[in-house]
């Protein structure tokens, strides 16, 4: 188990299991695209204020697991309350910003989009659902989206290992 930092704001203690840097690989698909494999690095940090700062970077992987080129990246803030309610704000370079609402309990987070806003050039994306869970020390997640006229369904999922236990903000 990760140690809870002394200066951690009590509101976000329910999310403390996310702190650190995580790396691993996942798979993606959607009815409108070709299936793919990707590598990912995710970082959650805290600085004593009532939120975790979050970044995710991904890369297309070839059949040997080598990075081919960058794929999706996103950044934002994760907040919780002691009752387990969760609010997440995310920004994507593809012109999409989101507010997510949900719950956390015992190493698990489930969130759904409350608000999605898009720039004129953004692809048609209307809703998302994310499930994160700590399973045997690894962070697994599944992301479903409604986009390109398709109903909510799987887009990406991955399994990440903690690679860094340095959890203070830089």
Question: What residue numbers does the annotated binding site for heme b cover?
Answer: 32, 123, 155
Could you say whether residue 22 binds ligand HEM (CB under 6 A)? no
Q: Which of 43, 45, 46, 58 binds ligand HEM (CB under 6 A)?
A: 58
In angstroms, the CA 113 to CA 93 distance is 18
Give the interface segment with ligand HEM, choosing from 2-10, 14-22, 35-43, 161-169 (CB under 6 A): 35-43
66: Cβ–Cβ under 8 A, 6 or more apart, which residues?
Answer: none
Sign of the C-alpha dihedral, residues 103, 105, 110, 111?
positive
Residues between 116 and 145 with contacts to ligand HEM, criterion CB under 6 A: 123, 125, 145
77-87 burial, b at 16+ Cβ within 10 Å, e below that, comes to ebbbeeeeebb
Residue in the structure block whose two tokens are 């399973």: 135
Count Cα atoms within 13 angstroms, Cβ side, for 105.
Answer: 4
Q: Which of 7, 32, 105, 168 binds ligand HEM (CB under 6 A)?
A: 32
44 vs 125, which CB is nearer to ligand HEM?
125
49 vs 73, which CB is nearer to ligand HEM?
73
Give the interface segment with ligand HEM, choosing from 15-23, 30-38, 46-54, 131-139 (CB under 6 A): 30-38
At 99, list the tokens. Answer: 């507010």
Diameter over CA atoms, the chain:
47
Q: Which residues bind ligand HEM (CB under 6 A)?
A: 28, 30, 32-33, 36, 38, 40, 58, 71-72, 74, 92, 96, 123, 125, 145, 147-148, 155-156
């Amino acid at each position: 188990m990760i140690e809870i930092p002394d200066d951690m704001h009590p509101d976000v203690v329910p999310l403390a299991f996310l702190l650190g840097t995580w790396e691993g690989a996942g798979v993606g698909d959607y009815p409108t695209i070709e299936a793919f494999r990707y590598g990912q690095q995710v970082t959650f940090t805290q600085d004593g204020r009532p939120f975790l700062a979050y970044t995710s970077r991904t890369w297309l992987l070839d059949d040997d697991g080598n990075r081919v080129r960058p794929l999706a990246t996103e950044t934002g803030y994760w907040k919780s309350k002691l009752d387990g309610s969760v609010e997440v704000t995310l920004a994507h370079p593809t012109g999409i910003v989101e507010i997510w609402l949900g719950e956390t309990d015992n190493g698990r987070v489930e969130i759904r989009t409350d608000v999605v806003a898009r720039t004129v050039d953004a692809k048609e994306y209307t809703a998302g659902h994310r499930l994160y869970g700590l399973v045997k020390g690894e962070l697994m997640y599944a992301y479903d989206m409604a986009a390109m006229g398709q109903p909510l369904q799987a887009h990406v999922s991955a399994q990440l290992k903690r690679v860094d236990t340095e959890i203070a903000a830089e």
